Structure 1
Amino acid sequence: MFRLKRIKFQLYAIAIVPAVLLLAFLTASLALAQVKPGDVITPDNAYKVKDLVSPGVFYKVQQGMEMKIVPSDRVDWPPPYKDATEKYSEQVRLSPDGRTVENYVAGQPFPFLDPNDPKVATKIIWNNVFRPLQTDDYDLRYFSCENVRSGRNVPYRVIDEIDVGHYAGYNEIGRTEVDPMPIDQDFKKTGRYWLFGLYPIMAPEGMRGAGFLRYRYADPKKSDDIWSWNTGTRRLRRLDEGLMSDAVTGSGLPSEGGGNIVVFDPDHYSGFNAKVEEYNYKFLGSKSMLGVVHAAHSPEVTCLTDGGGSACPENWETRQMYIVEATPRHSNASQTLQSRTVLYIDSEVWFPLYEDAYDSQGQLWQDHIYWLTYRDRPVPDARVAIYPFKRSFVVGAAATDVQTGMSAMCYLPSRNTPEKECWYINMGAVDRSFFDPDAMVKAAP
């Protein structure tokens, strides 16, 4: 029976590949007519990439972020994820109201997408949720984010820096590499899709020991459970889910000079991370664009031509992307500062390589860029975090307020850490106990 499913899966793939490849070839040819491998894009020739990136990324190039154009290369899924997709995807459906996913076990829920399907945008978003990047657990050890004023030829000066010990997650469903597989039995009791933890913060000194936890539930009506620990007040605080899209209030991270550090809001940790059911989605098309999925550097390099607001120069290549617009539903629209967010999701990595968020007046407000690499280890000299196959790693991320020029550039791993291997993905590096509020409190000095 399984063999028949595999054959059917492969035949279906063969049937749709010619049309997909033809579309990709035509759009890629158009893109490569404007840029070619070996080109270096600077503010002086930024016009060449205007139609190949989002408005937010184009702004970054105009402000000094340089691109090195390289030949495109493919990214394969981890074999266990691919096997799970073949085994379970046929049974997956959207709920009658089109909002939630049903019968999902592991792998990609919707491997075959029809652009004419009225629910294709929602299916793309669920593919983004259950992406191949980190299916079981992950522990990013020692990363840092620098708050800078970015711009063309602006001197590189760090205003604030935040250093974090662990950026970790544990999935209770969709597990493909580490027992329990494919579903943790705890899911049947709690209904939690995943658990996330960011703690302890190690710098600046005034925030040392602070942390953040978040649980996501399968029930579309159940809000996330969220806690923060503030070492100054020694208080464990429950946070409202509506604050998670606010880059200032949601972070709650005071700077050393007063005000707030400009950081990624929690709904943009690891790309688009909001609760799927609280947004409406519109499919804007599939397009050949530029993105970074084979980054040359890990740790990432500081872009000195834009004040340190990004990583550059890096390897940008032509990628086929799905473009989806996310707008908050009425129930939480009053709490969400972004009127809409446009996601540019890579069709192989299934990760948004960049996102543009717009304010309540419809003006471009924030852009988020992610730099990924594809190899069998997160850093070249790894001794422990080595995998039997290549996988994708996020090595850099930048959030920019285009209305003020303030940027937060994050290095994954940090350039100055006691431990450079950084990404431990699907290695059992963390279990559910790490995500207990008491554990977060005890980890604080």
Structure 2
Amino acid sequence: MQLGIVGFRKTIVVGGIALLALAAWSLPGEAGVKPGDFITPDNASQVKELVSPGVFYKVQRGMTMKIVPTSRIDWPPPYKDATEKYSSQVQLSKDHRTVIGYVAGQPFPLIDANDPYVATKIVWNAMWRPISNDDYDLRYFDCDTVYTGVNKPFSEINYDQLGHYAGYDLVGRTEVEPIPIDPDFKHTNRLWLFLLGPQLAPQQDRGTSLLRYRYEDPNHGDDTWAWEPGTRRLRRLNEAMNSTATGPRTYSPDHYSGFNPKTEQYDYKFLGEKEMLGTVDAEHSPEMRCATDGGGSACPERWQMRHMYIVSAEPRRSVNNAEALDSKTVIYMDSEMWFEPYIDTYDRRGALFRNNVFWLAYRDRPVPDAKIAIYPFKREFVVGGASTDVQSGQTTMCYLPGMETPERECWYINMGAVDRAFFTTESMVKMAETGHM
């Protein structure tokens, strides 16, 4: 795969904010696009070298882009303060797999492309990203599964509506007590807790839920449970199941939020850094269903040039994820907001398999008319996400907040909206069986 990586350079972070020279905008002829351009399948070649192969596939099949000037994305002040306070004590372990001395904030604010372990450090930075680091609860969202194509009419294969996409971090907390570490961590070794569900539609899948725990111990794989309406019982999942589609159709739990498997179970390679397009300041919330690709994306939406680190992740076949579905994931990491605007995965033959793309908004509330989820500073919110099987054209497009859901504020981040008690098998089963949120 030809990534067209530009020359390496060292990026210094001062006070948690990357000082980056966005050279692509000063050389518009080389960049291929400029603010004001509108990208369609007819001129898709202009962005071929500015997006991943998976995103280029989507543009070729009808997703449009409005090119806008690059804007600056600041970290939430509590996260920035924690980075300045604690990052100097963080280091990789002797085997370079795990992190030692982490408390809160970004573990490795100094990114040096010549560091032999730069790829691993980038992935650990993504593990403790600034978008949410205490708790989050996405209430009521919906997803359409469709086949994409240029000017293909919207024809829904499946419609999914879910009650919660929620998480609780025990380490790295900066805004909600207990700060910076939940005392439960010392007893359980759990780093974070995650719950998806219950599923509210379609009726035959009502109640389907997923619960997942991540541990600090590098040799302790994730604990994952599922509740399914067919058997009406709790089922413990093999860890390899996290790499397969579970929940909203083409999504796998390891890629719900970009790249999310257990960090120590992969080998990482730094492929370079480059100016590329991403959506970090979306115009719409709720997002708009794309009318030119069969509903397989959010479009037209604002895309801007971003400085990204590119890392490949390959599963270590000798550990618990030996049955991982993907042979490789290529991660495109925004160097300022530390969230992946998109990732591409490759099957065991080495062919492009899936693309996940995320549309993020930068504002002080998830929706303009929010009454509760309002912050004293701007932060990032994921307002849309699409997972596309590029070998079949099937896409699951999720809207956050949903188009047809009763909860309009949708995202509650670092507000204490959920606590540890929410993330138990008993709580999950009760919600699944009763339908009470």
How many aligned residue pairs are there?
421
Q: Which residue of 2 aligns with 1:375?
A: 363
SS in 1 for 2:27: helix
Q: Which residue of 2 aligns with 1:295?
A: 282
Q: Which of 109, 133, 136 is equivalent to 1:135?
A: 133
Give me the whole-angstrom Cα distance separating, in 1, the residues matched to 2:207 and 2:244: 22
Structure-2 change in CA distance of 1:28 and 1:144 (3 Å): farther
Q: Which residue of 1 aligns with 2:67?
A: 69
Q: Which residue of 2 aligns with 1:114?
A: 112
Q: Which residue of 2 aligns with 1:361?
A: 349
Q: Which of 404, 415, 418 is equivalent to 1:416?
A: 404
Q: Which residue of 1 aligns with 2:6?
A: none
Q: Which residue of 2 aligns with 1:348?
A: 336
Give me the whole-angstrom Cα distance separating, in 2, the residues matched to 1:394 and 1:13: 24
Q: Which residue of 2 aligns with 1:306?
A: 293
Q: Which residue of 2 aligns with 1:326?
A: 313
Q: Which residue of 2 aligns with 1:43?
A: 41
Q: Which residue of 1 aligns with 2:383?
A: 395
Q: Which residue of 2 aligns with 1:198?
A: 196
Q: Which residue of 2 aligns with 1:439?
A: 427
Q: Displacement of 1:16 after TM fit?
A: 12
Q: Which residue of 2 aligns with 1:215?
A: 213
Contact 1:28 1:288 in 2 (8 A): no
- Give the fraction of aligned pairs with identical amino acids, expressed as a percent: 62
Note the 1:245-284 alignment, pairs <5 A.
245-247=243-245, 251=246, 262-284=249-271
Give me the whole-angstrom Cα distance separating, in 1, the residues matched to 2:32 and 2:194: 42
Contact 1:27 1:287 in 2 (8 A): no
Structure-2 change in CA distance of 1:86 and 1:366 (3 Å): same
Contact 2:326 2:347 in 1 (8 A): yes
Structure-2 change in CA distance of 1:26 and 1:202 (3 Å): closer
Alpha-carbon RMSD across the aligned residues, in angstroms, is: 1.7
Amino acid corresponding to residue 333 of structure 2 in structure 1: I
Which 5+ residue runs of structure 1 have no aligned equivalent?
Answer: 1-11, 254-260
Give me the whole-angstrom Cα distance separating, in 2, the residues matched to 1:134 and 1:262: 25
Contact 1:293 1:371 in 2 (8 A): yes
Structure-2 change in CA distance of 1:15 and 1:175 (3 Å): closer
Q: Which of 220, 225, 228 is equivalent to 2:226?
A: 228
Contact 2:17 2:74 in 1 (8 A): no
Give me the whole-angstrom Cα distance separating, in 2, the residues matched to 1:291 and 1:309: 17
Contact 1:27 1:288 in 2 (8 A): no
SS in 1 for 2:380: strand
Give me the whole-angstrom Cα distance separating, in 1, the residues matched to 2:208 and 2:341: 29
Contact 2:50 2:277 in 1 (8 A): yes
SS in 2 for 1:320: strand
Give me the whole-angstrom Cα distance separating, in 1, the residues matched to 2:14 and 2:316: 38
Q: Which residue of 2 aligns with 1:336?
A: 324
Contact 2:190 2:216 in 1 (8 A): yes
Note the 1:92-171 alignment, pairs <5 A.
92-171=90-169
Give me the whole-angstrom Cα distance separating, in 2, the residues matched to 1:131 and 1:334: 27
**With structure 1 as the length reference, what TM-score do the two structures score?**
0.92
SS in 1 for 2:81: helix
Q: Displacement of 1:336 after TM fit?
A: 1.0
Give me the whole-angstrom Cα distance separating, in 1, the residues matched to 2:76 and 2:259: 22
**With structure 2 as the length reference, what TM-score do the two structures score?**
0.94
Which 5+ residue runs of structure 2 have no aligned equivalent?
Answer: 1-11
Give me the whole-angstrom Cα distance separating, in 2, the residues matched to 1:299 and 1:173: 31
Contact 1:149 1:407 in 2 (8 A): yes
Contact 2:310 2:332 in 1 (8 A): yes
Give me the whole-angstrom Cα distance separating, in 1, the residues matched to 2:185 and 2:14: 36
Structure-2 change in CA distance of 1:431 and 1:341 (3 Å): same
Contact 1:31 1:288 in 2 (8 A): no
Give me the whole-angstrom Cα distance separating, in 2, the residues matched to 1:70 and 1:237: 47
Structure-2 change in CA distance of 1:359 and 1:413 (3 Å): same
Q: Displacement of 1:174 after TM fit?
A: 0.1
Note the 1:230-245 alignment, pairs <5 A.
230-245=228-243
Q: Which residue of 2 aligns with 1:5?
A: none
Give me the whole-angstrom Cα distance separating, in 1, the residues matched to 2:84 and 2:271: 28
SS in 2 for 1:148: strand
SS in 1 for 2:157: strand
Give me the whole-angstrom Cα distance separating, in 1, the residues matched to 2:330 and 2:26: 21
Q: Displacement of 1:233 after TM fit?
A: 1.1
Give me the whole-angstrom Cα distance separating, in 1, the residues matched to 2:24 and 2:277: 15
Amino acid corresponding to residue 104 of structure 2 in structure 1: A
SS in 2 for 1:369: strand
Amino acid corresponding to residue 303 of structure 1 in structure 2: C
Contact 1:194 1:216 in 2 (8 A): yes
Amino acid corresponding to residue 426 of structure 1 in structure 2: N
Q: Displacement of 1:416 after TM fit?
A: 1.4
Give me the whole-angstrom Cα distance separating, in 1, the residues matched to 2:300 and 2:16: 36
Give me the whole-angstrom Cα distance separating, in 2, the residues matched to 1:121 and 1:99: 11
Contact 1:167 1:199 in 2 (8 A): yes
Q: Displacement of 1:284 after TM fit?
A: 0.5
Contact 1:31 1:52 in 2 (8 A): no
Q: Displacement of 1:90 after TM fit?
A: 0.1
Contact 2:16 2:109 in 1 (8 A): no
Q: Which residue of 2 aligns with 1:9?
A: none
Give me the whole-angstrom Cα distance separating, in 2, the residues matched to 1:16 and 1:378: 24
Contact 2:152 2:293 in 1 (8 A): yes
SS in 2 for 1:330: coil
Give me the whole-angstrom Cα distance separating, in 2, the residues matched to 1:128 and 1:162: 28
Q: Which residue of 2 aligns with 1:52?
A: 50
Structure-2 change in CA distance of 1:178 and 1:16 (3 Å): closer
Structure-2 change in CA distance of 1:137 and 1:245 (3 Å): same
Q: Displacement of 1:33 after TM fit?
A: 4.2
Give me the whole-angstrom Cα distance separating, in 2, the residues matched to 1:387 and 1:35: 34
